[in-house]
Amino acid sequence: MSVEADEPSAAASCGPVAERQRLNAADRALLAVNHALRDQGAAGFETQMFVWLGGRVSADGLRAAIARLARQYPVVAARLVEDEEQGGPFWQFRPNAHCALQEQTLESAESEAVLDQAARLLAAPIDLDRADPIRFHLLHRPDDRDVFLVQYNHTLMDNRAALAVLREIDRCYRAGPNDSAAAGVWQPDLIRTYLRQRSLERRTAAAAGAADLWNTLVRGGATMLGRPTPPAEGQPLPLRIVTRELEPRESSALQSRVLATCGIPNMSMAVLGSVFRAMRRWPATGNGSGNFIAGIGVDMGLRGRNRPVFHNLMSMVPIQAGGQALDDREELLRALSRQFRDRVESEMDLGVLQLMSLFSRRPRHARWVIDALTRRGFSLWYGYFGPQDAAGDHFCDTAIERVCYAGPAWSPMGLSLIANQFRGRLLLQMTYIPASMPDALASELLDEVIGDLTSK
Protein backbone atom coordinates (compact mmCIF):
# COMPACT_ATOMS: atom_id res chain seq x y z
CA MET A 1 0.00 0.00 0.00
CA SER A 2 1.37 3.43 -0.90
CA VAL A 3 1.88 6.18 1.65
CA GLU A 4 0.54 9.48 0.32
CA ALA A 5 2.34 12.70 1.15
CA ASP A 6 -0.46 14.13 3.26
CA GLU A 7 -1.32 10.89 5.08
CA PRO A 8 1.62 9.96 7.32
CA SER A 9 1.68 6.43 8.66
CA ALA A 10 2.98 5.39 12.05
CA ALA A 11 6.43 5.49 10.50
CA ALA A 12 6.07 9.12 9.43
CA SER A 13 8.61 10.32 11.96
CA CYS A 14 11.18 8.17 10.17
CA GLY A 15 10.21 9.59 6.78
CA PRO A 16 8.13 6.96 4.94
CA VAL A 17 8.60 6.58 1.22
CA ALA A 18 5.77 8.24 -0.74
CA GLU A 19 4.39 7.55 -4.19
CA ARG A 20 2.52 10.81 -4.57
CA GLN A 21 2.33 14.28 -3.06
CA ARG A 22 -0.97 16.05 -2.63
CA LEU A 23 -1.27 19.76 -3.34
CA ASN A 24 -1.83 22.00 -0.34
CA ALA A 25 -4.38 24.84 -0.40
CA ALA A 26 -1.91 27.38 -1.78
CA ASP A 27 -0.71 24.90 -4.43
CA ARG A 28 -4.30 24.39 -5.57
CA ALA A 29 -4.93 28.11 -5.79
CA LEU A 30 -1.86 28.55 -7.97
CA LEU A 31 -2.93 25.59 -10.09
CA ALA A 32 -6.14 27.56 -10.70
CA VAL A 33 -4.01 30.56 -11.67
CA ASN A 34 -2.08 28.34 -14.07
CA HIS A 35 -5.33 27.15 -15.66
CA ALA A 36 -6.66 30.71 -15.93
CA LEU A 37 -3.51 31.88 -17.71
CA ARG A 38 -3.61 28.93 -20.10
CA ASP A 39 -7.24 29.74 -20.88
CA GLN A 40 -6.15 33.29 -21.76
CA GLY A 41 -3.50 32.04 -24.18
CA ALA A 42 -0.49 32.42 -21.87
CA ALA A 43 2.05 29.65 -21.35
CA GLY A 44 1.21 29.18 -17.66
CA PHE A 45 2.25 30.49 -14.26
CA GLU A 46 6.02 30.11 -14.69
CA THR A 47 9.10 31.92 -13.40
CA GLN A 48 12.76 31.63 -14.38
CA MET A 49 15.87 31.84 -12.23
CA PHE A 50 19.05 32.93 -14.05
CA VAL A 51 22.45 31.97 -12.66
CA TRP A 52 25.01 33.84 -14.74
CA LEU A 53 28.34 32.02 -14.46
CA GLY A 54 31.87 33.26 -15.01
CA GLY A 55 33.00 30.12 -16.85
CA ARG A 56 31.99 26.72 -18.14
CA VAL A 57 30.30 24.32 -15.75
CA SER A 58 30.70 20.55 -16.05
CA ALA A 59 27.52 19.54 -17.88
CA ASP A 60 28.01 15.87 -16.92
CA GLY A 61 28.50 16.76 -13.26
CA LEU A 62 25.48 19.08 -13.27
CA ARG A 63 23.35 16.43 -14.99
CA ALA A 64 24.33 13.89 -12.34
CA ALA A 65 23.52 16.39 -9.56
CA ILE A 66 20.04 17.01 -11.01
CA ALA A 67 19.48 13.25 -11.17
CA ARG A 68 20.39 13.01 -7.47
CA LEU A 69 17.98 15.86 -6.73
CA ALA A 70 15.18 13.91 -8.43
CA ARG A 71 16.01 10.79 -6.43
CA GLN A 72 15.83 12.72 -3.18
CA TYR A 73 12.79 14.80 -4.20
CA PRO A 74 10.88 12.78 -6.85
CA VAL A 75 8.18 15.46 -7.07
CA VAL A 76 10.49 17.46 -9.37
CA ALA A 77 10.02 14.80 -12.07
CA ALA A 78 6.40 14.00 -11.20
CA ARG A 79 3.26 14.38 -13.29
CA LEU A 80 0.14 16.22 -12.19
CA VAL A 81 -3.01 14.12 -11.79
CA GLU A 82 -6.26 16.10 -11.48
CA ASP A 83 -8.74 13.24 -11.77
CA GLU A 84 -11.07 13.61 -8.77
CA GLU A 85 -11.97 9.93 -8.92
CA GLN A 86 -8.32 9.19 -8.16
CA GLY A 87 -8.25 11.74 -5.34
CA GLY A 88 -6.58 14.49 -7.36
CA PRO A 89 -5.02 16.87 -7.68
CA PHE A 90 -1.68 15.35 -6.70
CA TRP A 91 1.82 14.88 -8.03
CA GLN A 92 2.31 11.28 -9.14
CA PHE A 93 5.91 10.17 -8.70
CA ARG A 94 7.57 8.18 -11.49
CA PRO A 95 10.03 5.53 -10.27
CA ASN A 96 13.59 6.18 -11.46
CA ALA A 97 12.54 9.26 -13.45
CA HIS A 98 14.75 12.33 -13.42
CA CYS A 99 14.70 15.82 -14.89
CA ALA A 100 16.63 16.39 -18.08
CA LEU A 101 19.31 19.05 -18.43
CA GLN A 102 18.76 20.72 -21.78
CA GLU A 103 21.85 22.30 -23.36
CA GLN A 104 21.81 25.06 -25.96
CA THR A 105 24.78 26.79 -27.59
CA LEU A 106 24.08 30.44 -28.31
CA GLU A 107 25.42 32.27 -31.33
CA SER A 108 26.15 35.44 -29.36
CA ALA A 109 27.69 36.08 -25.96
CA GLU A 110 25.58 39.20 -25.49
CA SER A 111 23.08 39.23 -22.65
CA GLU A 112 20.28 39.84 -25.15
CA ALA A 113 20.92 36.43 -26.72
CA VAL A 114 20.43 34.79 -23.33
CA LEU A 115 17.27 36.79 -22.66
CA ASP A 116 15.85 36.00 -26.10
CA GLN A 117 16.32 32.27 -25.58
CA ALA A 118 14.88 32.50 -22.07
CA ALA A 119 11.83 34.36 -23.40
CA ARG A 120 11.22 31.63 -25.97
CA LEU A 121 11.33 29.00 -23.23
CA LEU A 122 9.05 31.08 -21.00
CA ALA A 123 6.49 31.49 -23.80
CA ALA A 124 6.23 27.76 -24.56
CA PRO A 125 3.06 26.23 -23.02
CA ILE A 126 3.71 23.59 -20.36
CA ASP A 127 1.26 20.75 -19.67
CA LEU A 128 1.91 19.54 -16.14
CA ASP A 129 0.39 16.13 -16.83
CA ARG A 130 3.12 15.53 -19.41
CA ALA A 131 6.07 17.73 -18.43
CA ASP A 132 8.27 18.21 -15.39
CA PRO A 133 7.06 21.06 -13.15
CA ILE A 134 10.68 22.29 -12.95
CA ARG A 135 13.04 22.37 -15.92
CA PHE A 136 16.79 22.95 -16.19
CA HIS A 137 18.66 24.55 -19.08
CA LEU A 138 22.36 25.20 -19.58
CA LEU A 139 23.02 27.99 -22.06
CA HIS A 140 26.56 28.02 -23.50
CA ARG A 141 27.80 31.45 -24.54
CA PRO A 142 30.59 31.70 -27.16
CA ASP A 143 32.90 33.46 -24.68
CA ASP A 144 33.25 30.29 -22.54
CA ARG A 145 30.67 31.39 -19.98
CA ASP A 146 27.44 29.58 -19.16
CA VAL A 147 24.04 30.57 -17.83
CA PHE A 148 22.16 28.02 -15.72
CA LEU A 149 18.44 28.61 -16.20
CA VAL A 150 15.84 27.08 -13.88
CA GLN A 151 12.20 27.40 -14.95
CA TYR A 152 9.51 26.32 -12.51
CA ASN A 153 5.74 26.26 -12.41
CA HIS A 154 4.17 27.85 -9.35
CA THR A 155 1.89 24.88 -8.82
CA LEU A 156 5.05 23.16 -7.56
CA MET A 157 6.68 25.83 -5.41
CA ASP A 158 6.95 29.50 -4.53
CA ASN A 159 9.80 31.79 -5.48
CA ARG A 160 11.45 31.59 -2.06
CA ALA A 161 12.19 27.91 -2.73
CA ALA A 162 14.27 28.61 -5.85
CA LEU A 163 17.43 29.63 -3.98
CA ALA A 164 17.15 26.60 -1.69
CA VAL A 165 16.84 24.36 -4.75
CA LEU A 166 19.95 25.95 -6.25
CA ARG A 167 21.91 25.25 -3.06
CA GLU A 168 20.58 21.70 -2.98
CA ILE A 169 21.76 21.04 -6.55
CA ASP A 170 25.19 22.37 -5.59
CA ARG A 171 25.22 20.05 -2.55
CA CYS A 172 24.29 17.10 -4.77
CA TYR A 173 27.10 18.07 -7.15
CA ARG A 174 29.67 18.10 -4.37
CA ALA A 175 28.29 14.97 -2.67
CA GLY A 176 29.21 12.75 -5.59
CA PRO A 177 27.85 9.30 -6.55
CA ASN A 178 27.92 7.97 -2.98
CA ASP A 179 25.24 10.39 -1.78
CA SER A 180 22.79 8.33 0.26
CA ALA A 181 20.07 10.95 0.94
CA ALA A 182 16.64 9.40 1.42
CA ALA A 183 14.23 9.51 -1.52
CA GLY A 184 10.54 10.39 -1.57
CA VAL A 185 10.34 11.43 2.09
CA TRP A 186 6.86 12.46 3.24
CA GLN A 187 6.41 16.22 3.47
CA PRO A 188 3.78 17.61 5.85
CA ASP A 189 1.06 20.02 4.75
CA LEU A 190 2.48 23.06 6.51
CA ILE A 191 -0.31 25.36 5.27
CA ARG A 192 -2.99 23.17 6.85
CA THR A 193 -1.01 22.97 10.09
CA TYR A 194 -0.54 26.75 10.12
CA LEU A 195 -4.26 27.38 9.66
CA ARG A 196 -5.31 24.84 12.28
CA GLN A 197 -3.10 26.57 14.83
CA ARG A 198 -5.36 29.66 14.56
CA SER A 199 -8.91 29.72 15.86
CA LEU A 200 -11.81 29.42 13.41
CA GLU A 201 -13.12 32.83 14.51
CA ARG A 202 -9.79 34.45 13.79
CA ARG A 203 -9.51 32.81 10.38
CA THR A 204 -13.09 33.66 9.48
CA ALA A 205 -12.66 37.34 10.35
CA ALA A 206 -9.41 37.55 8.40
CA ALA A 207 -10.97 35.84 5.38
CA ALA A 208 -13.97 38.19 5.43
CA GLY A 209 -11.69 41.23 5.46
CA ALA A 210 -9.59 39.87 2.61
CA ALA A 211 -12.66 38.99 0.54
CA ASP A 212 -14.15 42.46 1.01
CA LEU A 213 -10.97 44.16 -0.18
CA TRP A 214 -10.50 41.86 -3.17
CA ASN A 215 -14.15 42.36 -4.18
CA THR A 216 -13.63 46.11 -4.13
CA LEU A 217 -10.46 45.85 -6.20
CA VAL A 218 -11.94 43.52 -8.80
CA ARG A 219 -15.05 45.69 -9.22
CA GLY A 220 -12.94 48.81 -9.65
CA GLY A 221 -10.41 47.15 -11.91
CA ALA A 222 -6.74 47.92 -12.22
CA THR A 223 -5.26 50.50 -14.57
CA MET A 224 -3.12 48.70 -17.16
CA LEU A 225 -0.78 49.70 -19.97
CA GLY A 226 -1.18 46.48 -21.93
CA ARG A 227 -3.84 45.90 -24.57
CA PRO A 228 -5.88 42.69 -24.86
CA THR A 229 -4.01 40.38 -27.22
CA PRO A 230 -5.61 37.11 -28.33
CA PRO A 231 -3.04 34.50 -29.38
CA ALA A 232 -2.96 33.15 -32.91
CA GLU A 233 -4.67 29.78 -33.06
CA GLY A 234 -2.28 27.08 -31.92
CA GLN A 235 0.53 29.58 -31.30
CA PRO A 236 1.86 30.84 -27.95
CA LEU A 237 2.01 34.54 -27.24
CA PRO A 238 5.62 35.68 -27.84
CA LEU A 239 7.40 37.21 -24.85
CA ARG A 240 10.41 39.47 -24.45
CA ILE A 241 12.63 40.20 -21.46
CA VAL A 242 14.48 43.46 -20.86
CA THR A 243 16.69 44.31 -17.89
CA ARG A 244 18.18 47.27 -16.06
CA GLU A 245 20.37 47.54 -12.97
CA LEU A 246 21.65 50.01 -10.42
CA GLU A 247 25.35 49.98 -9.62
CA PRO A 248 26.30 49.28 -5.97
CA ARG A 249 26.78 52.98 -5.18
CA GLU A 250 23.35 53.90 -6.57
CA SER A 251 21.73 50.88 -4.90
CA SER A 252 23.27 51.81 -1.56
CA ALA A 253 22.05 55.40 -1.88
CA LEU A 254 18.54 54.15 -2.64
CA GLN A 255 18.59 51.83 0.34
CA SER A 256 19.74 54.67 2.61
CA ARG A 257 16.93 56.89 1.30
CA VAL A 258 14.36 54.14 1.92
CA LEU A 259 15.66 53.61 5.46
CA ALA A 260 15.53 57.33 6.21
CA THR A 261 12.03 57.69 4.74
CA CYS A 262 10.19 54.72 6.22
CA GLY A 263 12.51 53.20 8.81
CA ILE A 264 13.24 49.87 7.10
CA PRO A 265 15.83 49.09 4.40
CA ASN A 266 13.52 46.93 2.26
CA MET A 267 13.35 48.47 -1.22
CA SER A 268 10.20 46.70 -2.43
CA MET A 269 7.81 49.61 -1.95
CA ALA A 270 10.31 52.10 -3.39
CA VAL A 271 10.58 50.08 -6.62
CA LEU A 272 6.82 49.57 -6.80
CA GLY A 273 6.13 53.25 -6.18
CA SER A 274 8.48 54.26 -8.99
CA VAL A 275 6.79 51.74 -11.30
CA PHE A 276 3.37 53.22 -10.52
CA ARG A 277 4.70 56.73 -11.07
CA ALA A 278 6.26 55.71 -14.39
CA MET A 279 3.15 53.89 -15.62
CA ARG A 280 0.90 56.91 -15.29
CA ARG A 281 2.89 58.73 -17.98
CA TRP A 282 1.42 56.53 -20.72
CA PRO A 283 -2.20 56.02 -21.82
CA ALA A 284 -3.92 53.20 -19.98
CA THR A 285 -6.41 50.70 -21.33
CA GLY A 286 -9.30 52.21 -19.41
CA ASN A 287 -9.82 48.90 -17.63
CA GLY A 288 -9.60 50.44 -14.19
CA SER A 289 -10.73 53.39 -12.12
CA GLY A 290 -7.36 55.11 -11.97
CA ASN A 291 -5.79 52.88 -9.34
CA PHE A 292 -2.56 50.99 -9.86
CA ILE A 293 -2.59 47.61 -8.11
CA ALA A 294 -0.02 44.91 -7.45
CA GLY A 295 0.03 41.81 -5.27
CA ILE A 296 2.82 41.52 -2.70
CA GLY A 297 4.01 38.13 -1.51
CA VAL A 298 4.15 37.55 2.25
CA ASP A 299 6.51 34.91 3.59
CA MET A 300 4.71 32.91 6.30
CA GLY A 301 8.02 31.67 7.75
CA LEU A 302 7.08 28.02 7.21
CA ARG A 303 10.09 26.90 5.18
CA GLY A 304 12.91 25.76 7.44
CA ARG A 305 16.43 26.95 6.93
CA ASN A 306 18.05 25.32 3.89
CA ARG A 307 14.91 23.25 3.39
CA PRO A 308 13.72 23.08 -0.23
CA VAL A 309 10.14 22.06 0.54
CA PHE A 310 8.39 21.73 -2.82
CA HIS A 311 5.18 23.47 -1.83
CA ASN A 312 3.85 27.02 -1.90
CA LEU A 313 4.31 28.45 1.59
CA MET A 314 3.50 32.12 1.05
CA SER A 315 0.45 34.34 1.00
CA MET A 316 -0.27 37.62 -0.75
CA VAL A 317 -1.80 41.03 -0.03
CA PRO A 318 -2.80 43.70 -2.57
CA ILE A 319 -1.19 47.14 -2.63
CA GLN A 320 -2.76 50.05 -4.49
CA ALA A 321 -2.14 53.72 -5.21
CA GLY A 322 -3.52 56.31 -7.55
CA GLY A 323 -4.47 59.89 -8.19
CA GLN A 324 -2.57 62.59 -6.32
CA ALA A 325 -0.93 59.97 -4.10
CA LEU A 326 1.55 59.41 -6.95
CA ASP A 327 2.75 63.03 -7.07
CA ASP A 328 5.18 63.04 -4.13
CA ARG A 329 7.67 60.17 -4.36
CA GLU A 330 8.70 60.13 -0.70
CA GLU A 331 5.14 60.43 0.61
CA LEU A 332 4.12 57.64 -1.77
CA LEU A 333 6.87 55.43 -0.34
CA ARG A 334 5.66 56.11 3.19
CA ALA A 335 2.03 55.50 2.20
CA LEU A 336 2.77 52.19 0.45
CA SER A 337 4.92 51.00 3.37
CA ARG A 338 2.16 51.89 5.86
CA GLN A 339 -0.45 50.20 3.68
CA PHE A 340 1.55 46.98 3.49
CA ARG A 341 2.28 47.00 7.23
CA ASP A 342 -1.37 47.71 8.09
CA ARG A 343 -2.64 44.89 5.91
CA VAL A 344 -0.24 42.40 7.42
CA GLU A 345 -1.09 43.59 10.93
CA SER A 346 -4.79 43.11 10.14
CA GLU A 347 -3.90 39.52 9.14
CA MET A 348 -4.96 39.89 5.54
CA ASP A 349 -2.26 37.36 4.64
CA LEU A 350 -3.96 34.87 6.98
CA GLY A 351 -7.28 35.75 5.37
CA VAL A 352 -5.95 35.05 1.89
CA LEU A 353 -4.65 31.65 3.03
CA GLN A 354 -8.02 30.84 4.55
CA LEU A 355 -9.75 31.80 1.30
CA MET A 356 -7.31 29.56 -0.58
CA SER A 357 -8.23 26.73 1.75
CA LEU A 358 -11.96 27.28 1.18
CA PHE A 359 -11.57 27.54 -2.60
CA SER A 360 -9.42 24.40 -2.71
CA ARG A 361 -12.64 22.48 -1.98
CA ARG A 362 -14.53 24.39 -4.68
CA PRO A 363 -12.26 24.38 -7.75
CA ARG A 364 -14.93 25.79 -10.09
CA HIS A 365 -15.48 28.81 -7.86
CA ALA A 366 -11.71 29.25 -7.56
CA ARG A 367 -11.27 29.27 -11.33
CA TRP A 368 -13.98 31.93 -11.73
CA VAL A 369 -12.51 34.22 -9.04
CA ILE A 370 -8.93 33.83 -10.22
CA ASP A 371 -9.90 34.39 -13.85
CA ALA A 372 -11.48 37.70 -12.80
CA LEU A 373 -8.37 38.66 -10.82
CA THR A 374 -5.92 37.86 -13.62
CA ARG A 375 -8.01 39.77 -16.17
CA ARG A 376 -8.89 42.82 -14.08
CA GLY A 377 -7.17 42.74 -10.71
CA PHE A 378 -3.56 43.80 -11.37
CA SER A 379 -1.75 46.59 -13.18
CA LEU A 380 1.35 44.41 -13.45
CA TRP A 381 2.68 41.22 -11.96
CA TYR A 382 5.34 42.35 -9.49
CA GLY A 383 7.79 40.60 -7.24
CA TYR A 384 10.64 41.82 -5.06
CA PHE A 385 12.87 38.88 -4.10
CA GLY A 386 15.35 40.78 -1.96
CA PRO A 387 19.07 39.95 -1.68
CA GLN A 388 20.11 36.72 -3.37
CA ASP A 389 23.68 36.64 -2.05
CA ALA A 390 22.94 33.36 -0.25
CA ALA A 391 23.52 31.71 -3.63
CA GLY A 392 27.20 31.94 -2.71
CA ASP A 393 30.26 32.65 -4.80
CA HIS A 394 30.32 29.38 -6.77
CA PHE A 395 27.83 26.96 -8.26
CA CYS A 396 29.11 23.50 -9.17
CA ASP A 397 32.71 24.75 -8.90
CA THR A 398 32.05 27.66 -11.27
CA ALA A 399 32.07 31.31 -10.21
CA ILE A 400 28.69 33.04 -10.01
CA GLU A 401 28.48 36.50 -11.58
CA ARG A 402 24.87 37.30 -10.68
CA VAL A 403 21.50 35.75 -9.92
CA CYS A 404 18.20 37.21 -11.12
CA TYR A 405 14.68 36.21 -12.18
CA ALA A 406 12.11 36.74 -14.93
CA GLY A 407 8.39 36.28 -14.44
CA PRO A 408 5.37 35.46 -16.61
CA ALA A 409 3.30 37.87 -18.64
CA TRP A 410 -0.24 37.53 -19.87
CA SER A 411 -2.92 39.57 -21.62
CA PRO A 412 -4.41 42.07 -21.02
CA MET A 413 -1.97 43.14 -18.30
CA GLY A 414 0.93 42.63 -20.66
CA LEU A 415 3.92 42.87 -18.33
CA SER A 416 5.61 41.68 -15.16
CA LEU A 417 8.53 43.10 -13.22
CA ILE A 418 10.79 41.22 -10.83
CA ALA A 419 13.47 42.97 -8.78
CA ASN A 420 16.19 41.56 -6.58
CA GLN A 421 19.59 42.48 -5.21
CA PHE A 422 22.85 40.67 -5.82
CA ARG A 423 26.22 41.76 -4.43
CA GLY A 424 25.05 45.29 -3.85
CA ARG A 425 23.31 45.77 -7.20
CA LEU A 426 19.59 46.23 -7.68
CA LEU A 427 18.50 44.17 -10.72
CA LEU A 428 15.22 44.74 -12.59
CA GLN A 429 13.82 42.26 -15.12
CA MET A 430 10.68 43.05 -17.11
CA THR A 431 8.81 40.43 -19.13
CA TYR A 432 6.25 41.74 -21.60
CA ILE A 433 4.09 40.77 -24.55
CA PRO A 434 5.27 42.87 -27.51
CA ALA A 435 1.87 42.69 -29.22
CA SER A 436 0.29 44.11 -26.06
CA MET A 437 3.03 46.57 -25.12
CA PRO A 438 5.38 47.94 -27.82
CA ASP A 439 9.12 47.44 -27.39
CA ALA A 440 9.78 51.17 -27.16
CA LEU A 441 7.23 51.57 -24.37
CA ALA A 442 8.75 48.70 -22.34
CA SER A 443 12.24 50.18 -22.58
CA GLU A 444 11.07 53.71 -21.82
CA LEU A 445 9.08 52.45 -18.84
CA LEU A 446 12.12 50.75 -17.31
CA ASP A 447 14.29 53.79 -17.99
CA GLU A 448 11.69 55.97 -16.28
CA VAL A 449 11.68 53.65 -13.26
CA ILE A 450 15.46 53.83 -13.00
CA GLY A 451 15.37 57.61 -13.33
CA ASP A 452 12.76 57.92 -10.61
CA LEU A 453 14.66 55.62 -8.24
CA THR A 454 17.93 57.53 -8.62
CA SER A 455 16.72 61.13 -8.81
CA LYS A 456 17.40 63.35 -5.80
DSSP classification of residue 378:
-
Q: What is the mean pLDDT of residues 81-103?
A: 91
Parallel, antiparallel or unpaired: strands 398-406 and 394-395 = antiparallel
The predicted-structure confidence for 418-447, as pLDDT tens digits, reads as follows 999 999 999 999 999 999 999 999 999 999
For 203-224, give one letter per residue: b (16+ CB within 10 A) or e. bebbbebbbebbeebbebbbbb
Determine the 3-state secondary structure of 364 from DSSP: helix
- Residue length of the chain: 456
Output the CA torsion sign for 295, 300, 302, 307: positive
What band does 17 get if pLDDT is binned at 50, 70 and 90? low
Q: What does the pLDDT read at residue 234?
A: 72
Contact between 409 and 118 under an 8 Å Cβ cutoff? The reply is no
Confidence of residue 52 (pLDDT cuts 50, 70, 90): very high
Residue among 248, 243, 293 nearest 454 (CA): 248
Portion of the chain with pLDDT greater than 90, in percent = 75
> Quick check: 16 pLDDT over 70?
no
Q: What percent of the chain has pLDDT over 70?
A: 93
Domain boundaries, the chain: 20-177+191-454
pLDDT of amino acid 365: 81
What is the four-CA torsion angle of 141, 142, 145, 146, rounded to 10 degrees? 30
- The H or E element spanning position 370 is helix 363-376
pLDDT tens for residues 272-327? 999 999 999 887 765 666 789 999 999 999 988 767 889 999 999 999 998 889 99
- pLDDT (average), residues 129-135: 97
pLDDT tier at 185 (50, 70, 90 boundaries)? low
Greatest mean pLDDT among 10-24, 225-239, 370-384 lies in 370-384
Tell me: pLDDT of 177 over 80: no
What's the CA gap between 33 and 35, in Å, rounded? Answer: 5
Closest CA to 406 of 104, 106, 149: 149
Going by C-beta distance under 8 Å and a sequence separation of 6 or more, which residues neighbour residue 196?
none
CATH placement of domain 20-177+191-454: 3.30.559.30
Q: Give 363's pLDDT tier (boundaries 50, 70, 90).
A: confident
Lowest mean pLDDT among 301-310, 328-337, 404-413: 301-310
With bands split at pLDDT 50, 70 and 90, how would you rate the model's confidence at 51?
Answer: very high
- Contacting residues for 219 by C-beta, under 8 A, at least 6 apart: none
pLDDT at position 131 over 90:
yes
Beta strand residue intervals within 106-230, DSSP E: 134-140, 146-153
The pLDDT of residue 6? 44
pLDDT at 12 over 50: no
Nearest-angstrom CA–CA distance, 38 and 47: 15
Q: What is the DSSP string of 206-218?
A: HHHHHHHHHHHHH
Ranking 158-172, 298-312, 333-347 by mean pLDDT, the lowest is: 298-312
290 or 271, higher pLDDT: 271
Overall average pLDDT of the 215-223 stretch: 85
* Backbone torsions φ then ψ of 52, nearest 5 degrees: -80, 120
Contact 370, 36 (CB under 8 A): yes
User: What average pLDDT does this structure show over 173-193?
Assistant: 77
Residue 10 has pLDDT above 60, yes or no: no
Greater pLDDT, 219 or 267 = 267
Check residue 88 and give its pLDDT. Answer: 81
Which pLDDT value is given to residue 178?
A: 67
